[in-house]
Structure 1
Amino acid sequence: MLDRSVPYFNVIMKRPPGGPIPECPLPAGYAIAKFIPGKEESWAEIEASVGEFDCAGEAVRYFRQTYLPLPDELGERLLFVENERGEAVGTITCWWDFTAGRRDPSIHWFAVKVGYQGKGLGKALVAVCLQEMIRLEGDRDIYLHTQTWSYKAVRLYSRFGFEIVRDETFGSYRNDYDLAMPILDALLKRERE
């Protein structure tokens, strides 16, 4: 869930090549599944449930405009974690962004429904996403954009070798390092106490 009680600033993270990917098995009863046509509704429901969109309808419209025109890519790059009933409860997208003509591998739209957080599902999704990204793009720098509202995810990403970058960005994302770091430092320190 996004913490909208803190000021919003953009955070850019990068994972350099060559680092190990921690083993993060899913708990019993859960499985990783790839996107199939029609699952955009599940994606939208997950993203809206954590506050990334005001409603699932808005998320579906975004998804159809941004990702659905590339169905073959979606089948390889959009992952879900499903519960024992086959309900998608988490998602992550192993995508890319173009930066001055360079294609940069990047993680998009990572979320786990609130009732399923804290079970290790997010860690498993990030681990599988990184494995897929390396398979698809090679072992090279992988980027992600996040924000101060997602400070708990920042901590999770750092466990997988992502580092907050000061002066760098990718795609069209803004980097608010100087504004974001005092907030993140305070929030993450409070989390450790």
Structure 2
Amino acid sequence: MLDKTIPYAEIWMYRSKNLPVNEPILPEGFYFKSYQEGDEVEWAAIETAVSEFENERLALDYFKEKFAPYSKDLRTRLLFVLDSSGEKVGTCSAWWKELPNGVRYPLVHWVAVKPGYQGKGLAKAMVNRTLKLLQELEQNSPIYLHTQTWSYAAIHLYQKLGFEITDKNLDGSPNVDYQKAMSILASIRN
């Protein structure tokens, strides 16, 4: 869940594409499932539950604009974790970002686990599974992840999985929030 009580600052992270990735092991009773048509409703519910969107309608609008045009890719790149009852409780995507110059960068995108299911290792397993997918699907490039200081708990996980915070945006320009982000993260860790 996002902690919006601290100041917001944008963070970009990267990981070498060729770093080894641990096997994505879920706790007993949980399993992976790829996106199927109609799953956008559950995606919106999960992302809203972690405060990424104010309400599910806004989340669905985002999904329709950014993901729906890529229906074929969704089936291989959008991942869910389900509990033993079949409820979708986490999501993550092996996506990409294309810059205006046509260069495409692999991206771990929209990592979220419903409150009540956090702290069980689901996010770690999802990110590892997503990294393996990106290693298979994308050209040689670092793998990127966009986040913010509100996700400081997740940032620690990403660092354990080989991601490093960079002072650059995806296009190589300076991240104007970098110093602010590092200061906020340092104050939280103290």
Shift of 1:120: 0.6
Equivalent residue letter for 1:160:
L
Instruction: Give the TM-score, by structure 2 length.
Output: 0.94
Corresponding residue number in structure 1 for 2:60: 60
Corresponding residue number in structure 2 for 1:72: 72
Q: Does 1:27 align with 2:27?
A: yes
Equivalent residue letter for 1:156:
L
Shift of 1:128: 0.3
Q: 1:156 to 1:38 in 2, by over 3 A?
A: same
Q: Does 1:49 align with 2:53?
A: no
Preserved contact between residue 96 and residue 103 of structure 1 (Cα < 8 Å): yes
Corresponding residue number in structure 1 for 2:182: 181
Which ranges in structure 2 are unaligned for 5 or more consecutive residues? Answer: none
Q: Does 1:135 align with 2:141?
A: no
Equivalent residue letter for 1:136:
L
Preserved contact between residue 98 and residue 171 of structure 1 (Cα < 8 Å): no
Equivalent residue letter for 2:114:
K
Q: 1:184 to 1:135 in 2, by over 3 A?
A: same
1:29 is paired with a residue of what secondary structure? coil
1:4 and 1:134 map into 2 onto residues whose CA distance is 33
Shift of 1:139: 4.9
Shift of 1:22: 2.6
- The within-5 A match list for 1:1-193 is 1-99=1-99, 100-166=101-167, 168-170=168-170, 175=175, 176-187=177-188, 189-190=189-190
Aligned residues between the structures: 188
1:32 is paired with a residue of what secondary structure? strand
Preserved contact between residue 23 and residue 129 of structure 2 (Cα < 8 Å): no
Preserved contact between residue 47 and residue 53 of structure 2 (Cα < 8 Å): yes
2:186 and 2:142 map into 1 onto residues whose CA distance is 24
Preserved contact between residue 15 and residue 163 of structure 1 (Cα < 8 Å): yes
Preserved contact between residue 145 and residue 173 of structure 1 (Cα < 8 Å): no
2:72 is paired with a residue of what secondary structure? helix
1:61 and 1:88 map into 2 onto residues whose CA distance is 20
Q: 1:172 to 1:69 in 2, by over 3 A?
A: farther
Runs of 4 or more consecutive aligned structure 1 residues displaced over 2 Å after TM superposition: 171-175
Equivalent residue letter for 1:133:
L
Preserved contact between residue 18 and residue 135 of structure 2 (Cα < 8 Å): no
Preserved contact between residue 13 and residue 143 of structure 1 (Cα < 8 Å): yes
2:96 is paired with a residue of what secondary structure? strand
Which ranges in structure 1 are unaligned for 5 or more consecutive residues? Answer: none
Equivalent residue letter for 1:65:
E
2:68 is paired with a residue of what secondary structure? coil
